[in-house]
Chain A
Amino acid sequence: MTSQAMLRQRYLQKAAIAVGAVVLLLWTVFPFVWILLTSLKHPGDIISVPPKFVFTPTFDNYAALVIGEQHGQYSSTRPDFPLFFLNSMIISIGAVALSAAAGIPAAYALARFTFPLKNALAFVFMSFRFVPFIAFVIPLYLLYQQVGLYNTHTGLILAYQLITLPFTVWMLRSFFQEIPLEIQEAAKIDGCSWLGVLTRVILPLSMPGISVTVILGFMFSWNAFNYPLMLAGRQTFPVTVGAIQFISYEQVLWGQMAAATIVAAVPQLLLSLMVQKYIVRGLTMGAVR
């Protein structure tokens, strides 16, 4: 190969890498950029042909989300987005708190004790990750209506345990198993009981792991759509179900829907940057570290 041909090949390779990087970047980021732009447009700019990249921005769509009014016009069936946001917070925080309370001792037992049925129980927790949600939601819908849990935060927090509890138990177990056994044995020799080992050794040493688990559990709860779709009502809808309310039979409120998706996404964007090293581990229930 001549040196000129080699030079050309290297040049082509660099160009290919640059093109690939740009395509990947656009594919990943452009949808966010476009939705952000859409959320800042007047209704007329949203449906303009060709689509506008340059326009006079407006915060009308965000204002409409908060006060439910656009250009002096109230809609009687407007989605109450601030309420949905609050609901998402209440349900997600409630769900992770309950899962952490029940999951920490359970994960401790599965990580540090040997007992019959241990692996079977661990597998049972894992298997909930793979069950189609509709298998739970049909009977839960019927049951909740009878016992008065339908359209309540409590009912949703309990249903969300299907999402957060198996995850919390497996994640925490994988973090607890990383703590060297020697430390635990040393604590036992110093007279610590099982409770002392948990509160003085396991919990302090796995605090980062617990925070990551709680944050990821919160994010998975925030993403939940199908349980609240069937088990919540207008007073308890979270943002995921709330955002879809901008599609009605008469029209789609594109601008407000774009603003709603941005607002619903913001906590996820901030939190995912915080726990970025652990997201793959979380999504595989601790299988990939």
Chain B
Amino acid sequence: MNTKRRRRRWRWETFLPYLLLAPALVLLAGMVYPFGLGLYYSLTNYWLQYPNRFRFIWFDNYVNLTSEPLFARALEFTLGFTLVAVVVQVGLGLAVALFLHARVPGRKVMRALMLLPLMMPPVITALMWKIMMASTNAGILNYLLSFLGVDPVNWFGSKQGAVVSILIIDTWGNLPFVSLILLGALQALPTEPYEAARVDGASPAAMLRYITLPLLSPFILLAVTFRTMDSLRIFDVIYATTMGGPDDATTNLQIMAYQYAFQWYQMGKGMAQTIVLLVLVVILSSVLMRLWNRAAASTAQ
């Protein structure tokens, strides 16, 4: 009797965590199903306007991408933009964090203010800058730059201008993310290594190079990981400002997939481009997470 009851109880408890997870897993399954469907569509020529031609075409969509000039450019822009955005944002973010850490008056107020761009809807951020980046002399940014002797910039109208504009807007919204992570990490650093270095007469630059940066490395890698993932998939800002133009100069893989799927209704092709982006994200994120784990393990020792 007693053992029987205990066994029943044991059985019930083994399933308990799964039962607790069930509602969330059901919701997840509801998302995995459409994703599987999309994966299947990427192997078809699904074109919404011609449902009768629907056919399974294996990997033709993927193979055809290699001969699609826009795909090569979108891939190049996706990777190039990510590289530049991550370098700029993590570099400047580190500089801002070090600056605020160095006893700048009003640091707390500055920290609170930096949360505001960070938590703005990215599309709203883009619209705000779109207002400021009007290409005429009525645009406040061009007006302010004129005091520095800069001629009016054609922000969204020229190829380079559009790329730079999107970089500026994305940086405004996400620089605080990097700065706040690194500022928090700086404030939690142990003081002993610095005291020892000071006794040895180390210069501030040497302390930065040999103490601060190694100790910060897991946090820097964390910021790089998150920023890389988000930059690869940047969409809202581009959609609200340039829509991928001018002349496809700011078309990344996600914008391209959007155009194929929702402007030309070629769902199969759009889905194939999406899967390529997803594979890119998975590869880069696993590499970065491995680096991050290694850095975290080495500083923990």
Contact = CB atoms under 8 A, between A and B. Distances in A.
Interface of A: 17, 20-21, 24-25, 27-29, 31-32, 34-35, 38, 46-51, 98, 101-103, 105-106, 108-110, 113, 115, 118, 121, 124-125, 128-136, 138-143, 158, 161-162, 165, 169, 194, 219, 222-226, 229-230, 239-241, 243-244, 254, 257-258, 260-261, 264-265, 268-269, 271-273, 276, 279-280, 283-284, 287-288
B150 interface: no
Given A51-B140, A194-B16, A20 B99 contact: yes
B239 to A, nearest CB: 7
A34 B120 CA distance: 16
Contacts, number: 244
Contacts of B104: 17, 20-21
B127 A272 contact: no
Given A134-B257, A140-B34, A276-B112, A268 B121 contact: yes
Nearest to B185: A288
B110 interface: yes
B69 interface: no
Contact of B124 (A102, A139, A264, A288): A264
A194 B182 CA distance: 39
Given A51-B138, A165-B28, A280-B181, A133 B233 contact: yes
Given A25-B113, A28-B114, A121-B21, A287 B222 contact: yes
Given A20-B99, A109-B20, A269-B119, 5 more contacts: A128-B28, A132-B232, A138-B270, A142-B37, A284-B181
A271 B121 CA distance: 13
Contact of B222 (A46, A49, A288): A288
B95 to A, nearest CB: 9
Contacts of A272: 115-116, 118-119
Contacts of A260: 127
A56 B35 CA distance: 53
A61 to B, nearest CB: 12
B105 A21 contact: yes
Interface of B: 13-14, 16-18, 20-21, 23-28, 30-31, 34-35, 37-38, 41, 48, 96, 99, 102, 104-106, 110-124, 127-129, 131-132, 136-140, 143, 172, 176-177, 180-181, 184-185, 219, 222, 226, 229, 232-233, 235-236, 239-240, 253-254, 257-258, 261-262, 267, 270-271, 274-275, 277-278, 281-282, 285
A108 to B, nearest CB: 6
A156 B18 CA distance: 27
Contact of B274 (A17, A135, A169, A244): A135
Main secondary structure of the interface of A (DSSP, over half): helix
A49 B138 contact: yes
A166 B300 CA distance: 27
Contact of B271 (A113, A138, A280): A138
Contact of A283 (B18, B28, B177): B177
B131 A35 contact: yes
A219 B119 contact: yes
A134 B21 contact: no
A244 B128 CA distance: 11
A47 B20 contact: no
Contact of A268 (B35, B119, B143, B282): B119
Given A273-B115, A279-B180, A265 B124 contact: yes
Given A138-B274, A279-B118, A21 B34 contact: no
B123 A134 contact: no
Contact of A110 (B21, B27, B222, B236): B21
B119 to A, nearest CB: 4
B219 A288 contact: yes
A130 to B, nearest CB: 5
A139 B233 contact: no
Contacts of A273: 112, 115
Contact of B116 (A32, A98, A132, A133): A32
A223 B140 contact: no
B122 A223 contact: yes
B137 A276 contact: no
B122 A125 contact: no
